[in-house]
Each structure stands twice: as C-alpha cells, then as structure tokens.
Amino acid sequence: MASIVAWFRQRIPLSGVKLRELTNEPVPNHLKTWWWCLGGTPAYLFVVQIITGILLAFYYEPSPQTAYESVRYITEEAAFGWYIRSVHKWAATLMIAAVILHQIRVFFTGAYRKPRELNWMIGCCLLMCTLVIGFTGYSLVYEQLSYWGATVGANIADTVPFVGGFFKQMLLAGETYNERTLPRFFILHAAVLPTVMILLITIHIFFIRLQGVTEFRFGDEPTDQPTHYQFFPDHLMKELIIGLVLMILLSALATALPVTMGPPADPLTTPEVIKPEWFFYATFRWLKMFTGVAAVLSMGFIVFVMFIWPFIDAAVRRFLPRSEFSVWVGILGAAAIIGLTVYEALVVH
Amino acid sequence: MAGGLAASYGTFFAYSGRFLYPARPAERGWMYVAVANDLQVGDALTYRTPAGAGVTVARQGDEGGVGDFIALSSVCPHLGCQVFWEANNDRFFCPCHNGAFDPSGKPKSGPVAEANQSLPEYELRIEDGLLMINVELESLVSVSTRQPRDERTA
C-alpha cells in the first residue's frame, strides 16, 4: 500500500498541506448567512444539469421526426426517465432563479464596484448564457411552445439592424424553421453553451480568488470576534448542506410536479394562447408593447446598460459621492421586471 | 510567423463559418390554386403551399384580371407566428403578440399596427383561366407523422 502511495506521490507532487493552502482561503463572516450563498447555488445546479443532461442525451434524438417521440419515450417509458427529465427541468428553473437572485444581491450590495467590474461583466454574460440555455432547452422538446418559441426567437434576432438576418440564418439554418434547425439548437444547448459557461465560471471563480470575496460588516456584529473563518471545513460544510437541501428539493419537486408533454409542434398552427417559460414573461410582454425593432433595440440597450453599470455607477458617484442612485435604479428595474412578469402571467393575451 | 498564423487560422475559421451558414435560399415556383371563375366576388379559400404554409386566397373584384384576387400569407410579419381568422371580430389575429389585421391584410392593432406591417402577399397570375400562385417549393419540417385537420386543407 505504502509503495502505491509513494508511486502516486512521485507523479503528483502535491502534499495535503499544500492542497490545504491552495483551497483554504479565509472566508468573510457574512458568508455564514444563507442569503450570501446564492453564488454557489447555481454552480451546484449547473453540475446537476450536466449530469442529467448527459443522461437525457442517451435517448434524445434531435430531428423534427423523432425529437417529440424520444422525449415522450424518456418521460413515459424509460425507467425513471420522468424523474431524470423532471430534475433537469426543475434544476433549470431553480438555476435561473438563483442566478437572477445572485445578480440582484451583487447589484444592491454594490459588489460590482472597483476592482470587480470585469467580474460583474462576466456574471452578466453568465446570466445571458443561462437564459439562452433555458430557451434552447425547451426548444428541444419539439412541442408547440418549442417550435413557436424558436420561431419567435429567431425572428427577434432578425429585427436587429445589419447583423440580424445573419444570426437568424445561422440559428435556423435557413429562412424558416426546417429539418436542420433542431440539431443546431441541440448542439447549442448541449455543447456550445455549456462549454462557454464552464469557461466563464472558471474565470469568474478565478477572479474571486484573485480579488477575494467582497467584505461586508454589519452593525450588530461584535467587534472583538474574528472577521473571517476557514473555507475548509466550515464553509465547505455549509455548501454541502446547500447541496443536500437542493437535491431533496429537486427530488420533491420532480415527484410532486413532474414534467408532462405538451401538444406536439405543428408548424401550421400557432396555439390561440401561447406563452414562453416564466423567465421570458417580461420580454414577451415588452414585445407586445412596442414594435419589433423598437422592442428588440430597447431590450438590447437595457442589457448593455446592465453590462457596463459599474462604470456608469462610478461616474455618478464621482459627482455625487453619497448618492443612492444605483439603489433607486435597481428598485425601478426590479419593479418593472416583476410588474411585467406578473402582468403577463395574469392575462390571456 | 504572424502572417502564417493569421492566414492558416483565418482560413480555418472562414471555412467553418461558411460551413455553418445555410447553403441557399428555398426555390420558388408557380403552383395551381383554382379555376379563376370558380371563385365569385367575396369568396375565399385556404391554399396550402408545398412547404405547408397557409395562404388565404380571396376574390375582391370583378374586373376580369388577376387584380381581382388577393393571396395573403398566414405568417405574421411581426415575429413569424401563424395568424388565424376570427370571424366574430372580422379580423386575422396573431396570438403571439396580439397583432390584428383586417380582411385585406392591413394592420389594425398591436405591434404590427404601430410598425404598419401588413400580412405579406403572394404573387398571383392567371394562365388559361387558371389561378396560379408563386410560392416556396421547399418543405417545412415534416408533418407527415400527424394527420392534418380537415379545416387545414384547401
């Protein structure tokens, strides 16, 4: 046994002490609060998505003739297929919610400010990737919502001046949805976007390690106590508890509210009432309120402002150092998104 | 060195981009719709293109030429959903973003009215008394696994 250990030690010259030094970064005390663990939650859910996604890919067949039937087979015939697909769906829902809440928390605590502007921008890219991977995910089922969601999404891209037509062609592999469209959505969903997200998450975590976690002090904190605690084992244990709670929650949701099959895609008939997934309700309502180009360009502008917000905020604070400008903008933005989402959820058309 | 790297990798990425870009637009051709005189003023029928798209063909005049006829696409010009006819409201309605059109395809309300987007029209001609339409010939995604509803056929 000792010789085997020695054999590995020679080839992997990393001692336990060195490993502890590498991983055991002191963590600020405020991370003991559950609200501050929203960064690790989507990362954990992303791992769940990769595992369940690989399992689903064993049966899924990405062509218009076979996609719906293969998803029906997974859901209704394959052993525990309903469970794997339901966990995939619920983990996606929770992941999107967790990423949005994480972004909101970072915004309202000003954790995007110097020197963390680049990490905020990477976080914005991750939010966009999460939304797009959600969109391409429900496009794969090839039910009515999948087909018309993909059609509307591609036509939204088409309204962008100059480059829109190119993106629509690249997304659909033609002018309209055709035989070659679904494989593209599958490759985007199962290969391109996960690869991009893994790269972005790696850079995101690398920047956190380089700059350290943003530190906050609260009024009721005792001043004579240590301001930090150890990552290993204290914080790791907390993350494991989160992982346990999430897995129980996912299993409970998958069992109590399993995913079902909608009507199969019919390229000849748009349903009389059609809505996207909840995370696109605000966008969907926005598209109803304005003309195509105005709606798409204004949405693009809002996303761009969010992307460069650290620099806008820094400019405002230069002139008004005590201003609560960003907080009020955040409240206004959150209220608008929640308002549009609730409105879209309540009305038929 | 830099030139060689740029040329070799540039070629690779250019070829990759062209590989992913769709090959060619769908071909178009003239297809038979109906005997022109079988349609009276006020009559309308739903024509299915080879690609499966629905087209409302209606006769609106009695001048004796192709100008008497109109062929409206069922594809909403806003974001590509299928419109359907609402007889009780005398309009075509798009359920995706609430676009509405009058019987001649002109926008009435919703984002299409703000952008003044009418339903696209297909080109028609009359050949030896037969009404012909210019349509895309390539099929949409297969719908062969499902039985079309009666009202979908012309």
- The CATH number that applies at residue A181 is 1.20.810.10
SS (H, E, C) A127-175: HHHHHHHHHHHHHCCCEHHHHHHHHHHHHHHHCCCCCHHHHHHHHHCCC
CB under 8 Å to A321, separation ≥6 — which residues? none
Instruction: Give chain B's domains with CATH numbers.
Output: 26-152 (2.102.10.10)
The answer to whether A51 and A44 have CB atoms below 8 angstroms apart is no
The answer to whether B72 and B121 have CB atoms below 8 angstroms apart is yes
B146 — pLDDT class (breaks 50, 70, 90): very low
Of the candidates B21, B79, B98, the beta carbon closest to that of A169 is on B21
The answer to whether A221 and A29 have CB atoms below 8 angstroms apart is yes
Determine, yes or no, domain membership for A84.
yes
The answer to whether A242 and A44 have CB atoms below 8 angstroms apart is yes
Domain count, chain A: 1
ipTM exceeds 0.85, yes or no: no
Residue B22 forms contact with A (CB below 8 Å): yes
Cβ distance A292 to B79 less than 8 Å, yes or no, reads: yes
Which pLDDT does position A96 carry in this prediction?
A: 95
Of the candidates B52, B111, B145, the beta carbon closest to that of A288 is on B111
Record the pTM. 0.85
The answer to whether A182 and A64 have CB atoms below 8 angstroms apart is yes
Cβ distance B81 to A148 less than 8 Å, yes or no, reads: yes
Is a pLDDT exceeding 80 seen at residue A247? yes
Across chain A, mean pLDDT equals: 90
A9: enclosing H helix or E strand: helix A2-11
What part of B 114-153 touches A (C-beta under 8 Å)? 114-115, 117, 138, 140-146, 148, 152
Q: Which amino acid is at A296?
A: V
Cβ distance A292 to B78 less than 8 Å, yes or no, reads: yes
Which pLDDT does position A274 carry in this prediction?
A: 82
B48: closest chain A residue by CA = A268
Is a pLDDT exceeding 80 seen at residue A22? no
Q: Which amino acid is at A2?
A: A
Which pLDDT does position A218 carry in this prediction?
A: 67
Domain range for residue A121? 29-211+229-270
Determine, yes or no, domain membership for A150.
yes
A252: enclosing H helix or E strand: helix A236-256
Using a CB-CB distance cutoff of 8 angstroms, which residues of chain B are in contact with residue A156?
A: 79
Cβ distance B111 to A274 less than 8 Å, yes or no, reads: no
Residue B46 forms contact with A (CB below 8 Å): no
Q: In whole angstroms, give the CA distance from residue B20 to residue B24.
A: 12
B9 — pLDDT class (breaks 50, 70, 90): very high
CB under 8 Å to A170, separation ≥6 — which residues? A184, B20, B21
